[in-house]
């Protein structure tokens, strides 16, 4: 553990580290070449760390190696990396040069980078045969999640002429990709850490800023979230400035806040946007009211590009092996804290808004997803800041608008079963009730779209949804499929059916397999029939495949003509690779089935490498489906070698908009949440 020594007086920011305060610090010299296990330290490089309650100081001194020219020494750089969260998710990297130049940014483990959170101090000195530097970083720029700063992860590397064989670093690295956050593996501890309790704050933006027209003028709306990480309520001063690089602030504001212990406060800030604006920065900071001392700061880009609907084309099969193109619109959902979005539910509400229920994928595998809500007042073109359901990490399935501002969804997990309600069009979620298990005692899993029967005023009078229980391990699951009914908005389910028509069997290689359908969607056709689109089983020839995955499962349709008492035998629409079906009844009474295409699969073979989502239409109340004229809503190539059956997309939703168009969302492994309006 490296100590970050406490200084009772702020040191002079000087490049001469051979005298004064700098000479009295503890210097560390165990620098080795990366990717050389057991390598002996190379002399000539050392660093020290200190703090004065306001800033972290990082000093480095470098001596020329044997045979190294002065010119080569002048071309070196030192790269210093900090991870105050000690999570490996992101870290600050500072590239320091002998001529006084420095660059800084935040590197993200999930790829990409962001601007560093604020201004830093830097000085360097190049002399004959040596050079030295001092970096000063305000502690207010260190993102952390504790009640005060205690420890950080770090790494420091010396790069002579960018020659890999000459790199030196502390601590030892297993590889030379030193800029990745996971390589900030050294640990340092603040001396006098109790003095840093004032920094128990975090400030961040609440979603991407939106630019509006307001009385003929353009304004930027931005939410700022201030979080009190301490164990007591605190007063704080919020300062926000809107700037362009190298120019005075275009606008600035100050607000006084009181934030409870462990709580967050969201403030909506509005800035005027000047003519010709392309991009700028919002700098936000929190200050102690009495002293003005900055205890947390952050900054982020504001761009004139609003990332709303963009040009898109979907393809419709022509029945002869080709396609015709049709204009549509597409966008990618904004990320949440650099995390990609998976849209599990879309619903159109009677106030003209569209609500989205989603999760944010974790940046680090194994961490939980975060449940989110977003609301659009313009048909999905733009979305408000994400509403974060604190402490909720479930996949929000079976999203339903029940009328009178009531929205509900159910956990899609089989580990924690609950249903949540909002009574204000999705703004707050103040009610959660447990969900009963299936009749066999197993937890029910859900995904799809529920049936919603409504009265003349648009209020739900009955809902029904399909799901399944799983026993055993894949690929030999025992699946029991169910449909259940509620007349009180999902609070109770007095009727639960297990349709035998939804089971089936197939024989392959002399062995008969019994299968059951799983998740699905329901819709009431114009003739009163109930139509179910059900996720079926994988073709039996893949049951014992070493890379078996449920992406091979298909979609079948079953119809009830007696309000769900009995169901027809399944009709296979897609044998495998397409599922997560959503059913919509159009104004002309056609039925539309929207499905994920995880594998383009036909007659037991891979047809193409295209993944994405498709749609088919029924013009006879679900009896037949026009597969020859299938709509390709979106597609992209993907193949993971021998594991070709693993999809790169999944989970989807659709809703009918007031103008008769369809809004579809699905999860794409590279882009995140993709929306298509068609």
pTM for this predicted structure: 0.80
Mean pLDDT to the nearest integer, 449-453: 98
Mean pLDDT to the nearest integer, 92-106: 94
For residue 398, which of 239, 199, 585, 580 has the smallest C-alpha distance? 580
Question: What confidence score (pLDDT) does residue 415 get?
Answer: 60
pLDDT band at 541 (very low <50, low <70, confident <90, very high): confident
What domains does the chain contain, in order, with CATH numbers? Answer: 2-197 (2.60.40.1190), 200-303 (2.60.40.10), 310-677 (2.120.10.10)
Question: What confidence score (pLDDT) does residue 213 get?
Answer: 78
Residues in Cβ contact with 275 at an 8 Å cutoff, skipping those fewer than 6 apart: none
Q: Does residue 472 register a pLDDT over 90?
A: no
Residue 637's Cβ-count burial label (10 Å; 0-12, 13-18, 19+) is: exposed
Q: Does residue 435 register a pLDDT over 70?
A: yes
Residues above pLDDT 70, as percent of the chain: 96
pLDDT band at 303 (very low <50, low <70, confident <90, very high): confident
Torsion-angle region of 404 (φ positive above 0: left; ψ -120 to 50: alpha; else: beta)? left
Integer Cα distance of 398 and 428 in angstroms: 18
Mean pLDDT to the nearest integer, 43-59: 96
Reading the block at residue 355, the tokens are 């609500």
Return the C-alpha torsion angle 574, 593, 454, 414, nearest 10: 50
pLDDT band at 180 (very low <50, low <70, confident <90, very high): low
Q: Higher-confidence residue: 423 or 646?
A: 423
Q: Does residue 164 register a pLDDT over 60?
A: no
Integer Cα distance of 236 and 295 in angstroms: 9
Residues in Cβ contact with 248 at an 8 Å cutoff, skipping those fewer than 6 apart: none
Mean pLDDT to the nearest integer, 586-600: 97
pLDDT band at 110 (very low <50, low <70, confident <90, very high): low
> Is residue 332 helix, strand or coil?
strand
Strand spans (E) along 160-233: 168-170, 186-190, 201-205, 210-214, 217-228
Q: Does residue 218 register a pLDDT over 90?
A: no
Q: ∠ CA 552-553-559 to the nearest 5 degrees?
A: 160
pLDDT band at 521 (very low <50, low <70, confident <90, very high): very high
Integer Cα distance of 395 and 417 in angstroms: 11
Question: What confidence score (pLDDT) does residue 88 get?
Answer: 82
Integer Cα distance of 631 and 662 in angstroms: 13
Q: Does residue 224 register a pLDDT over 60?
A: yes
Question: What confidence score (pLDDT) does residue 127 get?
Answer: 95
Reading the block at residue 50, the tokens are 């200190």
Q: Does residue 570 register a pLDDT over 70?
A: yes
Question: What confidence score (pLDDT) does residue 144 get?
Answer: 82
Integer Cα distance of 342 and 361 in angstroms: 7
Question: What confidence score (pLDDT) does residue 209 get?
Answer: 75
Q: Does residue 474 register a pLDDT over 80?
A: no
pLDDT band at 176 (very low <50, low <70, confident <90, very high): low
> Is residue 456 helix, strand or coil?
coil
Q: Does residue 245 register a pLDDT over 80?
A: no
Strand spans (E) along 487-620: 495-497, 503-508, 511-516, 520-524, 530-535, 555-560, 571-574, 578-585, 591-597, 600-602, 605-608, 610-618
Tens digits of residue pLDDT in 651-664 = 999 999 999 999 99
Are 134 and 17 in contact by the 8 Å Cβ rule? The answer is yes
Mean pLDDT to the nearest integer, 345-358: 98
Tens digits of residue pLDDT in 7-21 = 999 998 998 999 899
Strand spans (E) along 7-129: 45-51, 55-63, 77-83, 90-96, 102-108, 113-115, 121-127
pLDDT band at 597 (very low <50, low <70, confident <90, very high): very high
Reading the block at residue 669, the tokens are 């492994």
Question: What confidence score (pLDDT) does residue 475 get?
Answer: 66
Reading the block at residue 547, the tokens are 């890379």
For residue 118, which of 137, 102, 99 has the smallest C-alpha distance? 137
Question: What confidence score (pLDDT) does residue 195 get?
Answer: 93
Question: What confidence score (pLDDT) does residue 598 get?
Answer: 96
Question: What confidence score (pLDDT) does residue 40 get?
Answer: 87
Tens digits of residue pLDDT in 386-415 = 899 988 999 999 999 999 999 999 997 656
Question: What confidence score (pLDDT) does residue 403 get?
Answer: 98
Question: What confidence score (pLDDT) does residue 413 get?
Answer: 66
For residue 567, which of 537, 530, 523 has the smallest C-alpha distance? 530
Average pLDDT, the chain: 91
């Amino acid at each position: 553990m490296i100590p970050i020594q406490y200084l009772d007086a702020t040191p002079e920011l000087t490049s001469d580290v051979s005298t004064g305060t700098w000479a009295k610090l503890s210097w560390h010299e165990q620098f080795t070449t990366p990717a050389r296990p057991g390598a002996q330290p190379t002399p000539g490089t050392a660093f020290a760390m200190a703090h004065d309650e306001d800033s972290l100081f990082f000093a480095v001194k470098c001596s020329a190696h044997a045979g190294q020219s002065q010119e080569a020494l002048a071309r070196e750089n030192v790269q210093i990396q900090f991870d105050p969260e000690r999570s490996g998710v992101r870290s600050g990297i500072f590239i320091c040069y002998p001529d006084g130049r420095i660059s800084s940014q935040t590197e993200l483990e999930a790829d990409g980078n962001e601007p560093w959170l604020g201004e830093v101090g830097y000085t360097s000195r190049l002399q004959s045969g040596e050079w030295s530097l001092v970096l000063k970083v305000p502690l207010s720029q260190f993102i952390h999640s504790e009640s005060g700063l205690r420890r950080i992860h770090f790494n420091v590397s010396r790069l002579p002429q960018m020659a890999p064989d000459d790199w030196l670093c502390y601590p030892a690295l297993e590889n030379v990709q030193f800029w990745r956050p996971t390589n900030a593996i050294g640990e340092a501890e603040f001396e006098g850490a109790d003095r840093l309790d004032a920094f128990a704050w975090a400030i961040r933006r609440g979603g991407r800023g939106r630019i509006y027209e307001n009385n003929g003028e353009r304004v930027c709306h931005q939410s700022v979230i201030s979080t009190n990480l301490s164990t007591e309520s605190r007063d704080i001063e919020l300062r926000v400035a809107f700037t362009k690089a190298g120019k005075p602030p275009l606008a600035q504001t100050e607000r006084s806040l009181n934030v409870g212990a462990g709580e967050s406060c969201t403030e909506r800030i509005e800035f005027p946007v000047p003519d010709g604006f392309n991009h700028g920065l919002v700098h936000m900071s929190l200050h102690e009211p009495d002293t003005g001392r900055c205890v947390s700061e952050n900054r982020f880009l504001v761009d004139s590009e609003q990332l709303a609907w963009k040009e898109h084309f979907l393809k419709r099969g022509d029945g002869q092996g080709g396609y015709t193109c049709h204009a549509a619109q597409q966008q990618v959902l904004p990320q949440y804290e650099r995390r990609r979005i998976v849209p599990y539910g879309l619903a159109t509400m009677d106030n003209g808004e569209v609500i989205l229920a989603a999760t944010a994928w974790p940046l680090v595998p194994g961490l939980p997803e975060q449940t989110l809500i977003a609301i659009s007042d313009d048909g999905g073109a733009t979305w408000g800041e994400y509403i974060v359901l604190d402490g909720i990490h479930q996949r929000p399935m079976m999203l339903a608008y029940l009328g009178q501002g009531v929205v509900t969804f159910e956990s899609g997990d089989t580990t924690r079963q609950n249903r949540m309600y909002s009574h204000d069009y999705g703004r707050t979620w103040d009610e959660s009730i447990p969900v009963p298990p299936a009749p066999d005692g197993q937890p029910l899993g859900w995904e799809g779209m529920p049936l919603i029967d409504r009265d003349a005023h648009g209020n739900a009078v009955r809902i029904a949804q399909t799901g399944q229980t799983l026993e055993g391990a894949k690929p030999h699951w025992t699946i029991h499929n169910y449909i259940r009914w509620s007349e009180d908005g999902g609070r109770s389910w007095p009727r639960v059916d297990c349709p035998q028509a939804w089971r089936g069997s197939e024989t392959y290689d002399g062995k008969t397999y019994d299968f059951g359908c799983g998740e699905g969607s329901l819709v009431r056709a114009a003739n009163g029939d109930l139509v179910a689109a059900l996720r079926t089983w994988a073709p039996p020839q893949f049951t014992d495949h070493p890379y078996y995955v449920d992406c091979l499962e298909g979609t079948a349709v079953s119809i009830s003509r007696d309000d769900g008492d009995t169901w027809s035998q399944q009709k296979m629409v897609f044998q495998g690779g397409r599922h997560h079906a959503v059913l919509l009844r159009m104004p002309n009474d056609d039925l539309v089935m929207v499905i994920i295409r995880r594998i383009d699969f036909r007659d037991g073979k891979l047809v193409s490498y295209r993944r994405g989502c498709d749609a088919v239409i029924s013009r006879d109340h679900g009896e037949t489906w026009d597969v020859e004229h299938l709509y390709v809503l979106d597609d992209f190539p993907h193949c993971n070698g021998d594991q070709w059956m693993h999809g790169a997309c999944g989970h989807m939703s659709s809703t009918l908009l007031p103008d008769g168009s369809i809004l579809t969302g699905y999860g794409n492994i590279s882009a995140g949440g993709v929306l298509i309006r068609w």
